[in-house]
Structure 1
């Protein structure tokens, strides 16, 4: 696990001199505190800095950047290749190698020399952001792992092409110059994250998961048009392949194959020359990963969980019960209001972009605690996307059926009334008609009104997952482009469910979940690993029929059946609370002064970016308890906090 950054520019710009590269590296020193490597090409037009967190091969033989024996290629690598020992054995059978050490970086470089880049990527199992410089062809290649576990940013500024693991590394270069992308801001206020390939800066992008970017020095003057991007793997192609060749075995065979592959993935990801542990929430996914780790360990593994003193948000007791049953060496911390206050000021620096997933706070705190004991921690992320675990899937399907039974004229009337009628009116309508109480995901009249004029299932799902239903009103602009692509004709709930899972795998998973884990962990020099994102497990899961994923309206059926083999069902069967954070309480209590300062009327007017009166309306309604706007307000506050940190 490491960090990297670099520049491609005309030599006369002095863009690659060691002092500038060193400054870029220092900006991401937390990603790699163990070692630093600098390189400038002979032509003076390419420069790179690498910061290393030593996980595999702690010796100098793992130093990066690393060069091929003939010095044509230079490779810098952020991540881990879990099957690199098997790749080494395969290479040795073909052409006996003279290995300098036992790092996966050296394995990758040897594979590229022998098999070529594409075939090496096809064989590699892992998470990575790669930088490959061809000193002969004067060509730069950037590669991001299949699912998007490791970040990679890039863009042109003042004639220079800048790239790096985090935006703060690019910003450390004096040629960095950009402005806020208002379209990206609108998407962030809606979804709580800036979706790839956008960033909050107009001129800079995220390399999307499963993509390869190439840039020739000879075409540098062409700017963005010189950048060539192609995709070598995608969730969409996996879904297409699975539909063409679905799993055809029995139920028991399917469960056996899933457990065997996940067990193998966990085994590979436990390999390290440092201490390894696991995050444990007590839910299905993290409990399964911890169980498979403990099954393969002769010693109690280290597990870590976080709790809250607000009962509705606390799962720590459930995690403790699972840990006790598995026999792990368990650590738990409880997040207090003061802990939140202490962390909030550092969030803009941690995330570089406005990022509104409030579980960033406990994620950072538990990563910080885990780092005191281990250097690597496995997590159960991706189970919801692969096995239909999110409750919003069921809510979206229920809403779709409700809308289908409501006359169009009534839908139009409800939609027209939505911004006019007071929230109490909607509550009374729900009570009179026996609907659920109004809430973020209820199916009452107000919820129907919010989605009543959606003309497609994609539009409906967009509204369901939106924190701000109309972000264009908050920033006084035309509606932003839709993040979700319109699905093909869908004639069944199974098809709609498959589309939601695929959509989340391509958006919410890489741009929210994995960003949160990567930044929080790397801020304290902890490597996070996600066994369910082994592409072999993803492809196997995709081939399973939908009833392996969702039965009787409940998701993750197959994962639960496997887990019950290791943990008693009685310890696990309970309503899922998720990794939520009581920001609704905190914003009315200990965080109120902080929020009030960021949402100050004069400050908002001076900045000139947000609709001051509307923002203040939402804030006052939340404080009075009239409405719970915690999610939208947190997005606004994270943007304001980020903006203030820019100076």
Structure 2
């Protein structure tokens, strides 16, 4: 795991400034504290920078940037290629390459690119973001930028007004370039309020873009950049396996074999590794499978809050730790240190991720680092691809009971009830159905995301004036930006992903749409980025076994009943888990892992700080929000708790981010 950066200038003959490149790397020391390196092409047009966190092959020979023996291909690489040893054997058998390292996966990537070009990606199991400068045609050099299939590792890019291309593992590195000044992207802000993150390729910084998961960008010798999706996992009715073709027991055996292989791949390391353990099924199964493969106890890590026992999962984690004899570590954090962390949080996030799980995750990563561990396995991805969230069954039922009949315009009696529902005052028991009917009758998708925040009537109250959000997005990369993201209608983003699938999916279609949409927005830009940013803040590498692409592709083809059976999600995964875990661990209600934000708002000091931060924010002063509505919600939440902590934190996270990155305030909170 590392931080990478680069500058490419085909706009004029000026050689790039290596001091700027070095400064870009220095802004990511936390991603690579072990060493640093820079490289510049002979003509001075391209420069690559690297900050190293040594994981595989700790020798100096494995340092980056890494150049081939002919000096015409150079690479910087963030991530891991788990099957590098297997690929190296195939390359060695060719007898074409001079090997400078004992077992560096970076060198395997370098020679694999020389041998197979960008098709080498198809051979990799891993997480990666890398850049390759290919000068084998001296008059037509190219730069390739690649993000891994599911988006575990981030990669950002921009182009200056002078025509220089910049890229980096973190947005903060880009702003080491003197030509760039942080400015909020207003269109991205609109969508952020819906999804709690800016959907790729947008970022919250105007002119800065992120590669979506499974994408690569090529910049040619003329400075022209083009994007291409090289991997996608799309379900369909035709490729969904039937229950008669694959029995549930056989499917469980196949899933277990894939999980064992995935966990084993992610144990390749020359430094100590362990696992984050909540005591839920996903992290517990990780620990169980790791224990099978290790001749020493697994190091496990759990976080909790002082004075908020109902948020803590210590009891469940300890039971799994005792069962597998792990070397277990725990940390308790108090409200003050968690709240004092918020100014640093928005700096580390780069762009806001309005998920308060980022807070305990930061302290958990610190515990990992303090223990001497460098690599951990985490449980992200299982719920999305095996339909593990409670709301998967909820959306299925709403699809059948409300959405589908509304779209079909069924009986006169049903139409009469719909008209009455739409015309009625919003009541707690009917507000959601009213929104679902509105979506159905307007041709919108039912599902907008597992963490959709401001939508429907609440959104209309929050942002009745759209003018402050209007801004043209000029993306300099051809094929990267879908025009649907330009609209101040977040459903158009949803439609761009789900619309083409309608009519081709297994029934009920909403279930396969859930997994697909989650893999495009929430998983790569929210869940995986909160893990990346908070673990890398402490130079910790997080690996995600449930997102091995073999598992993702297998899950996409499973009968829906093997994932969601009745109201029980992750059905097949739970069947596998019965071989390793007790029933309470497998079947207890999913607890989640966050911060007591609703309670914090009711505390006098925290509530006052939140109101002060909002009241002085340009986001308020420029009219992005209906001020009376937000202030009323804040007063209600801070006085007696209104259950709006999630919505208010989404606003506050953006307010604090804007104060730090755009306004440059030292007193963010």
State the TM-score, normalized to the length of structure 2: 0.87
1:300 corresponds, among 291, 297, 301, to: 297
Paired residue secondary structure (1:551) = coil
- Measured in 1, the distance between the counterparts of 2:611 and 2:122 equals 51
Does structure 1 residue 111 correspond to structure 2 residue 138? no
Paired residue secondary structure (1:554) = coil
- Measured in 1, the distance between the counterparts of 2:622 and 2:149 equals 39
* Shift in CA distance, 380/179, structure 1 to aligned 2, threshold 3 Å: same
Match of 1:459 in 2: 445
CA shift for structure 1 position 394: 1.4
- Measured in 2, the distance between the counterparts of 1:206 and 1:53 equals 22
Does structure 1 residue 68 correspond to structure 2 residue 82? no
Deviations 1:119-154 (A, max 9, x none): x11111100001000123321110110000000011
Deviations 1:234-287 (A, max 9, x none): 122x66884389993332222111111111111111110000010111111111
**Greater displacement, 158-167 / 76-85:** 158-167
Does structure 1 residue 189 correspond to structure 2 residue 193? yes
- Measured in 2, the distance between the counterparts of 1:28 and 1:295 equals 36
2:455 corresponds, among 436, 450, 469, to: 469
Paired residue secondary structure (2:455) = coil
Does structure 1 residue 344 correspond to structure 2 residue 337? no
* Shift in CA distance, 415/200, structure 1 to aligned 2, threshold 3 Å: farther
1:322 corresponds, among 320, 323, 347, to: 320
Does structure 1 residue 270 correspond to structure 2 residue 239? no
Match of 1:180 in 2: 184
Match of 1:447 in 2: 432
* Shift in CA distance, 410/477, structure 1 to aligned 2, threshold 3 Å: farther
CA contact (8 A) 2:11 2:164 kept: no
CA contact (8 A) 1:463 1:469 kept: no
* Shift in CA distance, 645/299, structure 1 to aligned 2, threshold 3 Å: same
Does structure 1 residue 139 correspond to structure 2 residue 142? yes
After the TM superposition, which residues 511-550 of structure 1 pair with which residues of structure 2 at under 5 Å, given as runs? Answer: 511-550=525-564
CA contact (8 A) 2:21 2:47 kept: yes
- Measured in 1, the distance between the counterparts of 2:613 and 2:15 equals 37
* Shift in CA distance, 263/488, structure 1 to aligned 2, threshold 3 Å: same
After the TM superposition, which residues 10-159 of structure 1 pair with which residues of structure 2 at under 5 Å, given as runs? Answer: 10=10, 16-95=16-95, 97-101=97-101, 102-118=103-119, 120-135=120-135, 136=138, 137-158=140-161, 159=163
* Shift in CA distance, 156/241, structure 1 to aligned 2, threshold 3 Å: farther
Paired residue secondary structure (1:92) = helix
Task: Show structure 2 runs of 5+ residues with no match.
Answer: 407-412, 468-487, 665-669
Task: Show structure 1 runs of 5+ residues with no match.
Answer: 221-225, 427-437, 439-443
CA shift for structure 1 position 39: 1.3
State the TM-score, normalized to the length of structure 1: 0.90
Match of 1:252 in 2: 249
1:353 corresponds, among 351, 374, 381, to: 351
- Measured in 1, the distance between the counterparts of 2:535 and 2:2 equals 12
CA contact (8 A) 1:193 1:354 kept: yes
CA shift for structure 1 position 305: 1.1
CA shift for structure 1 position 417: 5.2
CA contact (8 A) 1:15 1:160 kept: no
* Shift in CA distance, 501/604, structure 1 to aligned 2, threshold 3 Å: closer
CA shift for structure 1 position 570: 3.4
CA contact (8 A) 1:8 1:46 kept: yes
* Shift in CA distance, 509/267, structure 1 to aligned 2, threshold 3 Å: same
Match of 1:5 in 2: 5
Does structure 1 residue 578 correspond to structure 2 residue 592? yes
- Measured in 1, the distance between the counterparts of 2:462 and 2:607 equals 21
1:569 corresponds, among 569, 583, 601, to: 583
CA shift for structure 1 position 299: 0.6
Match of 1:290 in 2: 287
* Shift in CA distance, 43/371, structure 1 to aligned 2, threshold 3 Å: same
- Measured in 2, the distance between the counterparts of 1:492 and 1:242 equals 9
Aligned residues: 617
- Measured in 2, the distance between the counterparts of 1:464 and 1:628 equals 18
Match of 1:638 in 2: 653
**Greater displacement, 540-549 / 404-413:** 404-413
Paired residue secondary structure (1:132) = strand
Match of 2:385 in 1: 386
CA contact (8 A) 1:67 1:73 kept: yes
Paired residue secondary structure (1:188) = helix
* Shift in CA distance, 239/581, structure 1 to aligned 2, threshold 3 Å: farther
**Greater displacement, 636-645 / 308-317:** 308-317
CA contact (8 A) 1:148 1:210 kept: yes
Match of 2:396 in 1: 397
Paired residue secondary structure (2:554) = helix
CA shift for structure 1 position 78: 0.3
- Measured in 2, the distance between the counterparts of 1:4 and 1:13 equals 24
* Shift in CA distance, 239/55, structure 1 to aligned 2, threshold 3 Å: farther
Match of 2:475 in 1: none
* Shift in CA distance, 625/113, structure 1 to aligned 2, threshold 3 Å: same
* Shift in CA distance, 626/594, structure 1 to aligned 2, threshold 3 Å: closer
Deviations 1:416-452 (A, max 9, x none): 555xx6xxxx3xxxxxxxxxxx5xxxxx223223433
CA contact (8 A) 1:472 1:480 kept: no
Q: What is the RMSD computed on CA atoms of the aligned residues? A: 2.4
- Measured in 1, the distance between the counterparts of 2:360 and 2:573 equals 25
- Measured in 2, the distance between the counterparts of 1:412 and 1:86 equals 63
